């Protein structure tokens, strides 16, 4: 039962990162692909109607963590206190920037919210990567199952690191790059003309940076947290995951250079899914690895709620998730195809 | 646990939740009024109602966005600032909080899009259905959140293990917590009062400024009727029912609310006064003799327990705050009934629209229900102290053990600054919305004008 909820949690987080990831990515490359007000409004209309639906998955994932693994939820949320509050503030500003930009027709007002969108998107992509980096590296858990991390200490990994150290920042920057590529693929798919040309160009350049990181990060992860290799030694499935990750990256390069926008977008989505699968596979069954003492590790077994709750949750969560999925599909269907620029004063 | 940490964490949560709840208390009530307008429009085929409701939907949308943006932090601060509470009770309240996100939040978001953008494209009955679904979504959302709070007020369906962790033993039992019945009715009816006062206020403003007369009359007429019913029901039976269960299950909170320090027979109902915590008496009291005993026990000489009957460590840490908040709510609630019954009488005598004094009163009273609702929540939450889970877990045990007071203050100040900006932004947007107003009779449909 615990394993099932670990998978559910992984699926929800991955859905969030793949879906909201491309609208973060769009925010990151926003100033490079859209220069005039009309271009910017076109881009905003591509993500405007769906961003909040994408963000719902974060809420649902947070809810699932709270409900299924309350001990882990409590430890993680209080331990990453500063990073999470910062994440919240960025989410707020980013959401407001898209909704409020169109409210007043003034170039300065537009520029301000445009800047907020990009700052918020870069910061969010960075923070999400840093969060993953922290999960991989481990945190200084105490005997009581709690910890607290300052933003940074000396940027070195070790027993008492900060939220930011060289390793987590590396993953953070990687996350910015990969989401930028993912966002560029999405925009290339949703637009035509000059915006599409620019988005394709950015995606192509980005891929090479992704490859550079992809070569280096597995080695860095092993250096920082040797435990991560254990599951790959134990189970043959790990090799499959690595091969698939490599193949999806290869697919991304080929489809992008053939300018097949749909498949390029699908490839970058798959690549992100596989990265998440690798993370989940390498840390399992831990929720949080302790840098202090391996016996303090928070696992899915010592943080889960009662068997009754996990079982009843299975019923109502399945029903709810089914509705959520229908809603998401319906939403994407309603806004499928290329965006057209609505009249001034309408849309975003 | 360090006392300054607890105090900061409490201020942090109070500030966040009070600011957040400024928005849902309007949207939940307004969703009902939107359904009423859409139903009348559908039934009578009166286009005036459709024109009038378009503005209400826009008002709803702005409030909804702010409600969502300030609501996301609420799910986080349980974990960030109240980690020990989350660790121990997550097995229970995690259920209702997750259900809120999964069922209610999705439902409202999904159909709100249709409600805002769909009128031109969809059949009237489908658009009406979207309004209904948004209403159900928001009220379901309120239900799950209140089920969470009701469990903290009156824990049911739980077991505790050796490390103090609570686990749920029956989900249906938690969702049918007897405490929830009166609390839900009392709170949801309060949202109707807030929304109807706001709609009446906007209508009165248009009538007084001689603009958008057609829609304004619909706003005032319907809002006054809804508000008159809601304000009376709020006193009896909803407020009465809620107060009775507090007297029954939380006598200490009840005594603090009413300012009764010593157990007495034939207790008076205090209208006004200042609790003096040194002498344990009430300064400058104005009272109705015997009224409290009569209301609570049904007998003139019924016995009411005073604070001194209970150990001091179980008293709320701020008895005066509980007392003032409760009295502010009761006095405002009575005033609301008075205002709206008068307005209803004038409406019936067909004298409401020419009565400028009454329209002025309606226009100016819009902020008061917000004050009353916040007061009500301060009563129930501050009155629950020193408990986090009533009778089972103290507030002092609940905070995050490793988060220092400096870090809490940092994020509290950050939230204060951001919410200040957002508050200004919200007021600006609403003023703009009211200035534009509902569409005129001859105007073509411009649904998405000015964005959402």
The top-scoring range by mean pLDDT among A225-234, B238-247, B437-446 is B238-247
CB atoms within 10 A of CB B299: 12
Measure in Å the smallest separation between the Cα of B90 and chain A Cα atoms. Answer: 5
Q: Which residue has the higher pLDDT, A288 or A120?
A: A120
User: To probe the interface with B, which of A1, A50, A59 has the most B CB atoms within 10 Å?
Assistant: A59
Query: With an 8 Å Cβ cutoff, is A119 touching chain B?
Result: no
Chains A, B: CB pairs < 8 Å: 201
The reply to whether residue B76 touches residue A309, judged by beta carbons under 8 angstroms, is no
Residue ranges and CATH numbers for the domains of chain A are 2-334 (1.20.1630.10)
Q: Mutation test of the interface with chain B: which of A2, A5, A15, A70, choosing the one with the most B Cβ atoms within 10 A?
A: A70
Candidate from B87, B106, B410 with C-beta closest to A74: B87
Q: CB within 8 A of A21, min separation 6: which ones?
A: A125, A179, A182, A183, A272
pLDDT digits (tens, 9 = 90+) for A138-154: 888 888 888 888 888 87
A45-59, A291-305, B96-110, B258-272: which has the highest mean pLDDT? Answer: B258-272
Structure tokens at A143: 């005997």
pLDDT band at A236 (very low <50, low <70, confident <90, very high): confident
| Mean pLDDT, residues A209-218 taken together | 88
CB contact at 8 A, A149 and A79: yes
Residue of A nearest to B426 (CA): A100
Question: Is A62 within 8 Å of B86 when comparing Cβ atoms?
Answer: no
Count CB neighbours of A312 within 10 A: 16
pLDDT of residue B442: 55
Determine the average pLDDT of the residues in B296-306: 85
Q: Do A89 and B87 touch (CB under 8 A)?
A: no
A71-84 pLDDT, tens digit per residue, is: 889 898 988 898 88
Judge whether residue B368 has pLDDT over 50: yes
Beta-carbon separation of B402 and A146 below 8 A: yes
Instruction: Report yes or no: B171 at the A interface, CB cutoff 8 Å.
Output: yes
Tokens of A186: 């999405």
Q: Which residues pair with B394 in a beta bridge?
A: B387
B168 in reach of chain A (CB within 8 A): yes
CA distance B382 to B319: 8
More confident residue, A140 or B354: B354
Whether residues B402 and A148 touch (CB distance < 8 A) is answered with: yes
Q: Report, in angstroms and rounded to the nearest whole number, the Rg of chain A calculated over CA atoms.
A: 20
Q: What are phi and psi of B283, to 5 degrees?
A: -80, 150
- Give the pLDDT band (50/70/90) at residue B441: low
Is the preceding peptide bond at B143 cis, omega within 30 degrees of 0? no
Residue B219's pLDDT band (boundaries 50, 70, 90)?
A: very high
Contact A74 B84 (CB under 8 A): yes
Ranges A100-104, A286-290, B79-83, most confident: B79-83
Region B240-256: what's the mean pLDDT? 92
**Would the CB atoms of A331 and B107 count as touching at under 8 Å?**
no
pLDDT at position B446: 45
Per-residue model confidence (pLDDT) at position B450: 37
Q: How far apart are CA B112 and CA B109, in angstroms?
A: 5
Residue A105: closest C-alpha in chain B: B450
How far is Cα A115 from Cα A31, in angstroms, rounded to an integer? 8
Chain A residue at shortest CA distance from B399: A78
Q: Given CB atoms, is A140 within the 8 Å cutoff of chain B?
A: no
Q: What is the pLDDT of residue B132?
A: 94
Report the alpha-carbon distance of residue A124 to residue A95 in Å, rounded.
12
B404 backbone φψ class: left, alpha, beta (φ>0; ψ -120 to 50) = beta
B379 touches chain A (CB under 8 A): no
Please name which of A3, A76, A1, A70 lies closest in space to residue A285, comparing C-alpha atoms: A3
B-chain residues within 8 Å CB-CB of A77? 76, 78-80, 83, 86
Judge contact between A235 and A284, C-beta under 8 A.
no
Q: What is the pLDDT of residues B80-131, one digit of tens each?
A: 999 999 999 998 999 999 888 888 877 887 788 778 877 777 788 989 998 9
**CA A254/CA A246 separation, integer angstroms:** 13
pLDDT at A39: 87
Interface contact A213, partner B, CB < 8 A: no
Please work out, in degrees rounded to the nearest 5, the angle formed at the alpha carbon of residue A6 by the alpha carbons of A3 and A7: 90
User: Is A100 an 8 Å CB contact of chain B?
Assistant: yes
CB-based contact, A118 to chain B, within 8 Å: no
Q: What is the mean pLDDT of chain A?
A: 86
Give Cβ neighbours of residue B83 (< 8 Å, ≥ 6 apart): A74, A75, A77, A78, A146, B399, B400, B401, B403
What average pLDDT score do residues A158-186 get?
89
Query: Are residues B119 and B54 in contact, defined by beta-carbon separation less than 8 angstroms?
Result: yes
ipTM: 0.86
> Which residues in chain B are closer than 8 Å to A343, comparing Cβ atoms?
none
Nearest C-alpha neighbor of A93 from the set A29, A27, A184: A27
Contacts of B283 by beta carbon, 8 Å cutoff, 6+ apart:
B273, B274, B275, B276
Whole-number Å distance between alpha carbons of A64 and A303? 13
Token pair 């959402």 is found at: B452
Residue A346 pLDDT: 64
Span A36-55, mean pLDDT? 84
The pLDDT value recorded for residue B173 is 92
Asked if B69's CB is within 8 angstroms of A63's CB, the reply is: no
Residue B447: pLDDT over 60: no
Q: Is A139 in a helix, a strand, or coil?
A: strand
Cβ–Cβ below 8 Å for B169 and A66:
no
| Bridging pattern class, strands B158-160 and B166-168 | antiparallel
Task: Give a three-class secondary structure readout of chain B.
Answer: CCHHHHHHHHHHHHHHHHHHHCCHHHHHHHHHHHHHHHHHHHHHCCHHHHHHHHHHHHHHHHHHHHHHHHHHHHHHHHHHHCHHHHHHHHHHHHHHHHHHHHHHHHHHHHHHHHHHHCCCCCCHHHHHHHHHHHHHHHHHHHHHHHHHHHHHHCCCCEEECCCCCEEECCHHHHHCCHHHHHHHHHHHHHHHHHHHHHHHHHHHHHHHCCCCHHHHHHHHHHHHHHHHHHHHHHHHHHHHHHHHHHHHHCHHHHHHHHCCCCCEECCCEEEEEEEECCCCEEEEEEEECCHHHHHHHCCCCCEECCHHHCCHHHCCCCHHHHHHHHHHHHHHHHHHHHHHHHHHHHHHCCCCCCCHHHHHHHHHCCHHHHHHHHHHHHHHHHHHCCEEECCCEEHHHCCCCCCCHHHHHHHHHHHHHHHHHHHHHHHHHHHHHHHHCCCCCCCCCCCCCCCC
Q: Does A332 touch chain B (CB under 8 A)?
A: no
Does the pLDDT at position A51 exceed 90? no
pLDDT computed for residue B72 by the predictor: 86
Shortest CA gap A123–chain B (Å): 17
Report the alpha-carbon distance of residue B128 to residue B110 in Å, rounded: 14
Contact B234, B218 (CB under 8 A): no
Rounded Cα–Cα distance for residues B180 and B382 (Å): 18
The pTM of the full predicted model, rounded to 2 decimals, is: 0.90
A295 compared with A121, residue with greater pLDDT? A121
B429 chain-A contacts, CB cut-off 8 A? 100, 103
């Amino acid at each position: 039962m615990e394993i099932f909820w670990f998978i559910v949690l992984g699926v929800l987080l991955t859905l969030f990162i793949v879906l909201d990831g491309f609208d973060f990515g769009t925010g990151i490359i926003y100033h490079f692909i859209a220069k005039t007000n009309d271009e910017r409004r076109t881009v905003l209309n591509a993500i405007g109607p769906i961003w909040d639906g994408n963000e719902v998955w974060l809420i649902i994932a947070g809810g699932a963590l709270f409900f299924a693994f309350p001990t882990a939820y409590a430890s993680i949320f209080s331990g990453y206190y500063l990073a999470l509050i910062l994440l919240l503030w960025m989410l707020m500003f980013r959401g407001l920037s898209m909704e409020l930009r169109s409210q007043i027709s003034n170039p300065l007002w537009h520029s301000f919210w445009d800047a907020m969108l990009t700052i918020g998107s870069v910061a969010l992509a960075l923070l999400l990567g840093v969060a993953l980096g922290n999960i991989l590296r481990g945190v200084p858990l105490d005997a009581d199952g709690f910890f607290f991390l300052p933003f940074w200490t000396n940027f070195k990994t070790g027993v008492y690191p900060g939220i930011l150290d060289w390793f987590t920042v590396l993953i953070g920057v990687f996350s910015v790059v990969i989401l930028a590529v993912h966002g560029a693929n999405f925009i290339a798919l949703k637009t035509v003309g000059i915006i599409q040309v620019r988005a394709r160009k950015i995606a192509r350049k980005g891929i090479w940076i992704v490859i550079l990181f992809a070569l280096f990060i597995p080695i860095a992860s092993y250096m920082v947290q040797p435990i991560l290799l254990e599951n790959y030694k134990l189970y043959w499935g790990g090799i499959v995951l690595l091969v698939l990750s490599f193949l999806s990256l290869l697919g991304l390069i080929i489809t992008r250079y053939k300018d097949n926008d749909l498949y390029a977008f699908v490839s970058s989505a798959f690549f992100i899914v596989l990265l998440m699968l690798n993370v989940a596979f390498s840390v399992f069954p831990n929720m949080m690895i302790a840098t202090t003492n391996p016996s303090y590790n928070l696992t899915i077994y010592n943080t889960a709620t009662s068997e009754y709750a996990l079982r009843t949750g299975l019923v109502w969560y399945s029903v709810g998730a089914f509705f959520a999925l229908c809603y998401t599909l319906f939403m994407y269907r309603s806004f499928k195809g290329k965006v057209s620029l609505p009249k001034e004063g309408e849309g975003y | 646990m360090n006392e300054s940490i607890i105090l900061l964490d409490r201020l942090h949560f109070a500030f966040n939740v009070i600011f957040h709840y400024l928005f849902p208390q309007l949207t939940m009530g307004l969703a009902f009024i939107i359904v009423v307008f859409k139903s009348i429009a559908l039934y009578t085929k009166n286009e005036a109602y459709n024109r009038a409701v378009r503005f209400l939907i826009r008002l709803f949308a702005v409030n909804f966005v702010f409600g969502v943006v300030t609501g996301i932090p609420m799910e986080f601060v349980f974990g960030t600032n109240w980690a020990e509470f989350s660790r121990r009770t997550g097995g229970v309240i995690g259920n209702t909080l997750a259900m809120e996100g999964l069922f209610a939040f999705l439902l409202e978001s999904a159909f709100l899009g249709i409600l805002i953008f769909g009128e031109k494209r969809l059949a009237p009955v489908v658009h009406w259905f979207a309004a209904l679904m948004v209403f159900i979504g928001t009220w379901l959302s309120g239900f799950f959140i209140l089920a969470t709070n009701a469990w903290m007020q009156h824990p049911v369906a739980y077991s505790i293990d050796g490390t103090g962790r609570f686990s749920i033993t029956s989900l249906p039992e938690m969702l049918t917590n007897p405490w929830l019945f009166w609390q839900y009715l009392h709170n949801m009816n309060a949202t109707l009062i807030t929304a109807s006062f706001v709609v009446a206020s906007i209508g009165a403003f248009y009538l007084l400024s001689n603009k958008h007369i057609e829609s304004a009359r619909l706003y005032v007429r319907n809002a006054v009727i809804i508000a008159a019913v809601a304000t009376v029901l709020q006193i009896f039976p909803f407020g009465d029912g809620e107060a009775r269960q507090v007297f029954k299950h939380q006598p200490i909170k009840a005594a603090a609310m009413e300012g009764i320090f010593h157990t007495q027979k034939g207790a008076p109902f205090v209208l006004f006064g200042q609790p003096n915590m040194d002498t344990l008496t009430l300064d400058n009291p104005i009272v109705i003799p015997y009224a409290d005993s009569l209301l609570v026990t049904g007998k003139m000489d019924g016995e009411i327990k005073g604070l001194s009957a209970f150990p001091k460590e179980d008293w709320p840490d701020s008895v005066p705050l509980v007392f003032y908040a409760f009295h502010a709510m009761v006095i405002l609630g009575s005033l609301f009934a008075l205002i709206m019954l008068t307005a209803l009488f004038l409406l019936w005598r067909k004298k409401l629209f020419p009565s400028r004094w009454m329209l002025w009163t309606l226009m100016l009273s819009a902020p008061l229900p917000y004050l009353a609702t916040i007061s009500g929540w301060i009563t129930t939450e501050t009155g629950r102290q020193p408990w986090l889970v009533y009778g089972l877990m103290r507030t002092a045990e609940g905070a995050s053990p490793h988060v220092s007071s400096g870090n809490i203050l940092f994020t509290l100040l950050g939230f204060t600054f951001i919410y200040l900006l957002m508050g200004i932004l919200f007021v600006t947007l609403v003023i703009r919305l009211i200035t534009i107003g509902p569409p005129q009779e001859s105007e073509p449909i411009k649904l998405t004008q000015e964005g959402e």
